[in-house]
Amino acid sequence: MSTSTGRGDSPTIVLALDPSDPVVREAPVRWAASQFTEVLAGVGITVETDAQSQAALTVVVGGGAGEAGPAESFSLSRREGPDGPVHVEGVDARGLMYGVLELADRARFADDPLAELRGTQPTSQQPATPVRSILRTFVSDVEDKPWFYDRDFWVEYLTELATNRVNRFHLALGMQYNYGHHPATDNYLCFPYPFLLDVPGYDVRAGNVPDEERERNLETLRFITDEAKRRGVDFQLGLWNHAYDQGDGSIPHYPITGLTPETHAAYSAAALGMLLRECPSIDGLTMRVHYEGGIPEPDHEVYWQQVMSAVAEVGRPIEIDMHAKGVDEALLEIARGTGMPVKVGAKYWAEHQGLPYHQTTIRDRERATKEAGTGLMAITAHLRRFTRYGYGDFLREGSDVKVLFRIWPGTQRVLLWGDPVLAAGYGRLGTIGGAAGIDLCEPLTFKGRKDTGEPGGRDPYADQALRLDGQEWKKYRYTYRLWGRLLYDPDADPASWRRFLRAEYGAAAEAVENALGPASRVLPLVTVAHGIGASNNGYWPEIYLNMPIAGGPNADHYQRDTATPPTFGGVSAFDPSMFYRVDEYADDLLAGHRDGRYSPLDVADWLDGLAADAEGNLAAATAQVADAEEPQFRRLAVDVAAQAGIGRFFAGKYRAGLAYSLYERTKDPRHLGDAVEAYRTARDAWVGVVEVTSVYRPDLTFGDARSEHGHWADRLPAIEADLADLERIHEAAKAENAPAGQAVVEISRGARPSFEHTVPEPFSRGDDQTITLETSDPAFDGTVVLHYRHLNQGEDFETVETSRNGATFEATVPGSYTDSDFALVYYFTVHASGGDAWILPGLEKSLASQPYHVLRQRVR
C-alpha cells in the first residue's frame, strides 16, 4: 500500500490526539507532540494530525486518563492487533509525555524509523524513583554567563532531560563558596535578589550590574522556568547563599549595597516573594539553611522564619527543600509552618559519588558531640554534626518530611561516566526508607568555582579537535540518559540506552558499553574504600592529590579531615563497617584472623578486574569503530583509559600500602620489597594516565585550593617522591640482616559457607523481631553475629551472637528496640573457626547491591 501523501516520497504517520482526554490538552503533552513531529521530520517521516487512509501508521495519544497507576506511568498498546494503531496512554500529563517521547526516541536512533514504530510492542512503564533531578550551578561570571543567556542551549538541554525522564531541574545559585570559610570575590548571583530584582521600598543594588543586565537576568530566569514547565520538568531554584556582605576580607566584584543587619531579613523576604511572583513557573526552592548559607547560628532561625513566611504568601504550592546539614526540629517546624511540602536534601556519600548503597556507618569524625556548641557553627558542628554527610535521622517512618539525596561532585567532574549497572543500583537504592529520590550534580559542576573561571567557557579540552565550544554538556548525553532512564526504571529495557550507543559508535556500541561501564565503577569504589576527605574541596579522587604511604608531600593537606598521623594506611573508608583501614587489616593479618570486612587486597582485586574489563573492551571498540580518530570516540577512549589507569594506580597503591604497614609491624624487609614493587606498578599506571589525559587543559579549575584544580601531571611528582621514600627505606633495611622464616602472607581464604536469608515481613512497632539465617553447609562450625541498628546514621550498631539449632541461626531484636520511629538496618558476620570471616549479604560482584538489609515497619 502506498504511504505517499503528496509531500514527496516521505511516509506519513498520523498522530491522533484524543480530544476527549483532558490530559492531552496539557502543555507537556502538546510539547511532546510537537517534539515527536520534529524528530520524525528529521528522519524523513511526515506527521499529520488528521486521519488519512494511506498513512503508514496511526499513533493515538490519550484515552487513558483516570486509569489506576502511579504518577508518570504510561503504556503503549496495540488494541486492534499488530497492524493496528499504536495507543499511547498515561495517567497524567507527564506519563503521557514520556510515552510520546519514547516513540520519538526509538525512531530517532533507528536504522529504519518507520519499521521501528510499526514494530512497537505492548509495554507498561512506571517510575521507581519519584524525584529524578539534575543540578546545574552558576558559579563563575566568566564561564557561566554564556550558557545562562543562551536560549538555544536551554531549549536543547531541557529537551534532553525531559526525553530521558528527568522530572526536576535544579538551577543552583550561590554555591561559589563555603560561606564562613572563604572570602568571596566572584559573587555574581550569590545573593541573587539584587542581580534579578529592584524591590520596592529598598534601595539595594549589586554593584557593576546595570539595570538592563538585571532585567535581562530576570527575563532569562523566567524563560528557563517556563521552558522547563512546558516540558513537564519541575523547576527548582537553588538559593544557596543569603549573605550579602560575602564574608570578612572579601573584595567582591559585585558589592551589595543598601542593606544592614536590621533590614536583611525583611528585604530577603520581600525579594523572595517578588521573585516567586515574577517567575510563576518556579515549583520549588532549595535553601542552605545552616551557617554556610550566610546566616550565623544559632540566631538563624529568626531569619528563616521571616524569609520562609514569604513563600506561604505567594498563593501556590512551592516545595521547600532544605539542605539537610544542620537541620533540626526547629527549622523543620518553620518550614512546615508555611503549609508547603517540605523535603530535606541529604548528601548521598558525603560530597562525593560512591557506590549505590548508603553508608552502613558514618566515620567517627561525623558523629555528633554530646554538648551544644557556641558561635557560627553552634548547631551544625555539634549536636547535628551527623547530618553533614548522609541521611542522619531524617528517615523516620510516616514522616511528613521527605528525604531527597543529593550526589555531590567531589569524586568525578571531568571524565565521562556511564555505567548502566550502577545507575540501576541507584534506581533501586536511592529511595531507601521511603526517600523521594536523587538530585545529581551534573558533570563539570563547580567548573570555575571560587573565581577560577577562565575565558573560553567550561570546555575542559586543550586539544582543539576535541573541544565542543560551548556545547561541552553534549559529551555527557549518555550520562544523562542512564541517570534519567534507570532512575525511572532500574529494570529498563537495555534498548533504551543501546540505541543511543549504536547511533554514536556503530558496530563498536557493545564494546563501548562494556568498556565505559566498568571504567565508571572505578572512582565510586575508590571513594567508598578510601574516604580520605568528606569535603569536595579537599578530596578529588579523579585527579588525586597523593596521600603518602611513608609520610611526605601532601600529608598536611588531608590532616583536617582524616586520621592522625595522616598516612595512606591510616585512612578510614567512608563506610568503616564494610571496609578495613589498611593498618587495621595488617593488624588482623598478624593476629591470624579477619572480622569480615573487605580488605585492601579485596579492593585492589576489584580495581584490577574493572581496569582489565575496561581495557579489553576498549581495545575491541577501537578495532570495531569506523573511525578511531573521530572526536566523539577519542573523547570516550581517553576517559576510559584514564579511569582504567586510575584503577590500576589505586590497586597498586593498596598493595603497596598494606606491604608497608606489615613492614612497620614486623620490620621484615621482604614486605618493603613487595611495597616498592607494587608502588612502582602504581606509579607506572599514573604515568599512563598523565600521557592519555594530555588532551585536557593543563589546569582544570574547580576551585582555588591545590586539590581543586590542576592536572594529572601535577600529581605525579608527589607520587614519585613517596615511592622514592619507600625505595630509600628499603635500601636501608636490606643492609641489615633479614629475619629468618617466611614473611607474613594473606590468611588462606576458603569458599564462603552457603547461607540463605529471607527478609521478614514488615514489623509492628514495639514487637520482638526474630531474624533467622539458614545454612546448607552442615560442616560449618563457626559462629554468626547479627548487627542491627535503626535507620538512623546517628546511632551505633548493636550486636548479638545468634543461637544455633541445626541449620538455623536465630537472634531477636527486642521490642524495646523496635519501639521507635525507624525501620531496622541489619547484616550478619559469619566467623569460621579458622579465623576467616564474611559479611552477609555483603556486596555483589557488580558493586551495585546493598550489603545490608532494611526492614520496614508495618503501615498502621
Q: Read off the pLDDT of residues 33-49 as tens digits, 9 standing for 90 and up.
A: 999 999 999 999 999 98
- Could you tell me if 274 and 144 lie in one domain? yes
Give the rounded percent of residues in the chain with a pLDDT score beyond 90.
84
What pLDDT does 528 receive? Answer: 98
Instruction: Assess whether 651 and 798 both reside in one domain.
Output: no
CATH number of the domain where residue 321 is located: 3.20.20.70
Run of H or E including 831: strand 824-831
- Output the nine-digit C-alpha cell for 498: 543501546
Give me the pLDDT at residue 397, please: 97
Task: Give me the sign of the Cα torsion angle 641, 646, 650, 653.
Answer: positive
The answer to whether residue 746 is domain-embedded is: no
Could you tell me if 227 and 150 lie in one domain?
yes
The CA distances from residue 783 to 156, 484, 801, 831, in Å, are 59, 43, 7, 5
Angle between helices 600-624 and 582-591 (to 10 degrees): 120
Q: Do residue 256 and residue 365 come from a single domain?
A: yes
pLDDT score, position 372: 76
- Contact between 125 and 91 under an 8 Å Cβ cutoff? The reply is no
Judge contact between 279 and 212, C-beta under 8 A: no
Q: What is the dihedral sign for C-alpha 584, 590, 595, 600?
A: positive
Report the chain's mean pLDDT, rounded to a whole number. Answer: 93
According to DSSP, residue 570 is labeled: G
Rounded to 10 degrees, the C-alpha dihedral 483/484/485/488 comes to 110
| Three-class secondary structure of residue 591 per DSSP | helix
Task: Flag whether pLDDT at 7 surpasses 50.
Answer: no
Confidence tier at 63 by pLDDT (50, 70, 90): confident
Summarised one tens digit per residue, pLDDT across range 584-637 is: 999 999 999 999 999 999 999 999 999 999 999 999 999 999 999 999 999 999
Which residues in 122-149 are b (16+ Cβ under 10 Å) and which e? eeebebbbbbbbbbbbbbbbbbbbebbe
The answer to whether 660 touches 569, Cβ cutoff 8 Å, is: yes
503 domain-assigned: no
Query: How many Cα atoms occupy the beta-carbon half-sphere of 248 within 13 Å?
Result: 2
Same domain, 725 and 806: no
Share of the chain above pLDDT 70, in %: 96
CA atoms of 666 and 738, how far apart (whole Å): 11
Cα–Cα distance between 78 and 88 in angstroms, integer? 9
DSSP state letter for 41: H
CA 681, 684, 688, 693 dihedral sign is: positive
778 confidence band (pLDDT: 50, 70, 90): confident
Instruction: Kindly state the average pLDDT of the residues 465-491.
Output: 97
Q: Which pLDDT band holds residue 746 (cuts at 50, 70, 90)?
A: low
Handedness of CA 408, 414, 418, 422 (dihedral sign): negative
CATH number (domain holding residue 81): 3.30.379.10
Residue 782 has pLDDT above 50, yes or no: yes
Query: Quick check: helix, strand or coil at residue 484?
Result: helix
Q: What is the pLDDT of residue 43?
A: 97
CA distance 613 to 644: 9
Query: Would you state the pLDDT for residue 10?
Result: 86
Q: CA-to-CA distance for 536 and 530, rounded, in angstroms?
A: 14
For 574, list phi and psi in degrees, rounded to 5: -70, -20
Identify whether the C-beta of residue 459 lies closer than 8 Å to the C-beta of residue 475.
no
* Segment 190-220, tens digit of pLDDT: 999 999 999 999 999 999 999 999 999 999 9
Q: How far apart are CA 363 and CA 343, in angstroms?
A: 25
What is the pLDDT at residue 53?
Answer: 67
The verdict on 417 and 552 lying in the same domain is no
For residue 760, tell me if it sits in a domain: yes
pLDDT score for 4? 35
Q: pLDDT value at position 65?
A: 54
pLDDT band at 282 (very low <50, low <70, confident <90, very high): very high
What is 355-391 written as a DSSP string? -SSPPSS--GGGSPPSS---STTTTTTTTTGGGSSS-
pLDDT of residue 3: 35
Total domain count, the chain: 4
- Domain holding 215, by residue range, is 131-492
pLDDT beyond 70 at 826? yes
How big is the chain, counted in residues?
860
pLDDT of 364 = 85
Q: Are 449 and 672 in contact (CB under 8 A)?
A: no
Judge whether 1 lies within some domain: no
Nearest-10 crossing angle of helices 211-230, 27-42: 80
Q: Which of 785, 851, 786, 794 is nearest to 822 (CA)?
A: 794
Average pLDDT score over residue span 446-468: 94
pLDDT at residue 298, rounded to an integer: 84
Confirm whether 73 is domain-assigned. yes
For residues 269 and 3, give the distance between their C-alpha atoms in angstroms, rounded to a whole number: 61
- Give the Cα-Cα-Cα angle 32, 36, 40 (nearest 5 degrees): 170
Q: Over 70: is that where the pLDDT of 677 sits?
A: yes
| DSSP assigned state of 804 | E
d(CA 768, CA 784): 20
Taking each helix axis from N to C terminus, what angle separates 495-505 and 631-666, rounded to the nearest 10 degrees? 110
Question: What pLDDT shows up at residue 351?
Answer: 96
Which of 125, 153, 176 is the last residue in one of the domains?
125
The mean per-residue pLDDT over the stretch 487-514 comes to: 98
Confidence of residue 6 (pLDDT cuts 50, 70, 90): very low
Same domain for 558 and 638?
A: yes
pLDDT at 135 over 60: yes
What pLDDT was estimated at residue 747?
59
C-beta separation of 304 from 333 below 8 A: no
Calculate mean pLDDT across residues 295-318. 94
Per-residue pLDDT of 798-812, as tens digits, reads: 999 999 999 999 999
Q: Lowest-pLDDT range, 188-202, 353-367, 439-453, 516-530?
A: 353-367
Please tell me what DSSP assigns to residue 164: T
Mark whether 121 and 147 lie in a shared domain: no
Instruction: Kindly state the average pLDDT of the residues 133-156.
Output: 98
Q: Indicate whether 475 and 549 sit together in one domain.
A: no
* Residue 765 within any structural domain of the chain: yes
The predicted structure's pLDDT at residue 779: 86
Distance between CA atoms of residues 429 and 191, nearest Å: 35
pLDDT in tens, 344-364: 999 999 999 999 999 999 888
Of 438, 462, 492, the residue at which a domain comes to its end is 492
Q: How confident is the model at residue 278 (pLDDT cuts 50, 70, 90)?
A: very high
- Asked if residue 611 is part of any domain, the answer here is yes
Mean per-residue pLDDT for 458-479? 96
Tell me: do 247 and 282 sit in the same domain: yes
Residue type, 201: G
Pair (442, 567) in one structural domain? no
Contact 231, 158 (CB under 8 A): yes
Specify whether 208 is located in the same domain as 292: yes
On the CB side of 91, how many CA atoms lie within 13 Å of its CA?
11
Mean pLDDT on 538-558: 87
Could you tell me if 589 and 747 are in contact, meaning their C-beta atoms sit under 8 angstroms apart? yes
What CA–CA distances, in Å, run from 329 to 332, 335, 395, 743?
5, 10, 13, 56
The pLDDT-based confidence of 54 (bands split at 50, 70, 90) is confident
Q: Which of 97, 125, 153 lies at the terminal end of a domain, its last residue?
A: 125
CATH number assigned to the domain comprising residue 816: 2.60.40.10
- The model's pLDDT over 651-661, given as tens digits with 9 standing for 90+, comes to 999 999 999 99
3-state secondary structure 16-27: EECCCCHHHHCH
Is there a contact between 732 and 587 (Cβ–Cβ < 8 Å)?
no
Cα 470 to Cα 472: distance, rounded to the nearest angstrom: 6
The pLDDT, as a whole number, for residue 2 is 30
User: What is the average per-residue pLDDT within 744-766?
Assistant: 85
Q: Residue 181: its pLDDT value, please? A: 61
DSSP collapsed to 3 states, 204-256:
CEECCCCHHHHHHHHHHHHHHHHHHHHCCCEEEEEECCCCCCCCCCCCCCCCE
3-state SS, residue 854? strand
- pLDDT value at residue 86: 96
Q: Is 441 helix (H, G, I), strand (E, B) or coil?
A: strand
| pLDDT in the model for residue 583 | 96
* 793, part of any domain: yes
What residues pair up with 441 in beta bridges, in sequence order?
135
Please state whether beta strands 86-90 and 57-61 pair in parallel, antiparallel, or not at all (unpaired): parallel
pLDDT category at 250 given cuts 50, 70, 90 is confident
